[in-house]
Structure 1
């Protein structure tokens, strides 16, 4: 029985052998697929059977979305697929995992990342604003620095569950990317097309000059307008000046950049002028009372005379102020720079700019004084008087000598006449 059974079993085995070989031949490919599933999921060319590199990553820095595309074939050859890779390490968030697109060759894994840093950005990224030096030959060459936004991130495989065992034939994938967005732009060459029929273009400049008034007062309350007497004001008298904006549209304050006086009416080539103040620098005999904090500005000074008027009974003074209209915050910003001694070299105001205007008033007349103020010129007068006295003395001496000589000669002729008449003795001779 044993041998029979053995022979029967042998016959059964020989009978079934062809079918068994067929089944085995069909299972081997299936077994290969089960053993290496990632190698057979997608039809990838043999040229991508290599380790992934940086050329497998494509980055598109859009205005609202950053789109990332990774070569699926090289990732597959390395032993990974879309479920094992995620943006910025967020493997548990579905939105941070990629989607597969097989409509392109080679197929890709696509990721999208919003360009923002808000809480709604589930995948997150690093967003940093940096200062950069502009191109010296570019349109921003006049800028010291310009700013840019740099967004950085990465795509990596899941390392939370490390492989077991001593060795592995797969690699870890890590793709780093960055997008740079400049914040300074030049918008030019904007073309506007209009109909060639009945086209009218008008560009006009406005001015607030008619709403600016300069007045001069004789009291610190700025209540009484100054009235100059016909003979002129006395030297060292206090004069109060107010520059005011009236009926001005908008919230603008008056900021005096510079106020000065000239001996004649103002002109652009004026070289002789006395500065009451220029920006942060104020003359010792002038006071800036209000400036850059209201719709009016005020200062005062002591009257003086210009030396070129020394021969005149009155010296004329023409007042001028260079001012600007600025928003309150801008005015305060300029004034604060005066309080910072380190910024004195960068005078915030004090020079006429494109948004400045010049107001003038005058002339004011100051009179010469009969006291110490004119003693400087008394030496010449005294010298002239001394010269006249010396000349008179010399003339008097000459005339006195001539008169004495005539008297002597006259007396001699009288005595001679009496001698020849016999009235005088001969011994006289």
Structure 2
């Protein structure tokens, strides 16, 4: 005899029975799917700071036609990190699923969707103090549900992390550690040999992105780097106020950035864009289409209509990333690329008939050429600014794979931020 339950006239099946099929056949009860006439348990709500939440009835079966919304929030200036410790949903991603939104409501952009038993890409980072999580189930099969953990980042006066193409820098205020009964000498990251520098006010870890146990992940078109700061037991024999200490450190790298080159001056043509969660890219002139010899002469004097060869690349080569040239604009004014600008490339589409692309969106570098020109024959120098987008090379639906797109989606402009670096202008010979 099967061991099955009975709830208000409906059959519910435990681990001895399938939740569909002929459950409890000795009693002639038939269960095509798990249902209950019990009132749906309440789910969702407003959660603050850090904590756990789960699907209705977890770890038992959730109900059909569930719609639960959790509104997560943190202090001003903090961000929210969401992970899923367990996910067991119906084997149909369009039937039962979890959706994560980057903001205070479902009207904000979607960070991702989790279904079935997918916990591979577990970490979601909000861009503000708000995150919204929605769980839906349909009218058919159910499963055990999910359990999620959310934590908030440190406030600015407690600590922060900066990432570039090359490095991760973690800064933790000693006053924050003191409030927990810890000192800077107690801290380490996932690679124990990586130790911090300690000043009178701060504890600073600084190391390359591919070192010290940092984990690289690609999800939803983003590249993220994560590590953990932990504390060892006190060597002084004193009892600290916190027996366990763990800071999850993450950087989500924005996919677009700006590089700028001025065709001018005796400066080494080698500069970076550095910012929190930004890839560092450099732009430089080369002597020919072989791109073997970089030009360091300055000022870089060229003839009118001379072919100029330009390469934009990530400062740290990474074959898992592609760099796509989205827009390149020339201007006689290094601080104004809108009012008196000239487009060589716009939204991946060629605007100047001398522009030629050797490669873009296929490697961690992009290469192109164009003919030198002079604005209105009244300006000595011409400045060039290029906006590039970074994509995971295994994302075949990324912006890098789409090429020319005459009309840009508004979300790309509104979601991502840009930075600019200056290298120096080119000058026409005899000008």
Structure having the larger proportion of residues in helix: 1
**Band of TM-score, shorter chain:** 0.3 to 0.5
Structure having the larger proportion of residues in strand: 2
Give TM-score scaled by structure 2 length: 0.41
Larger Rg: 1
Identify the structure with bigger relative contact order (alpha carbons < 8 Å, sequence gap 6+). 2
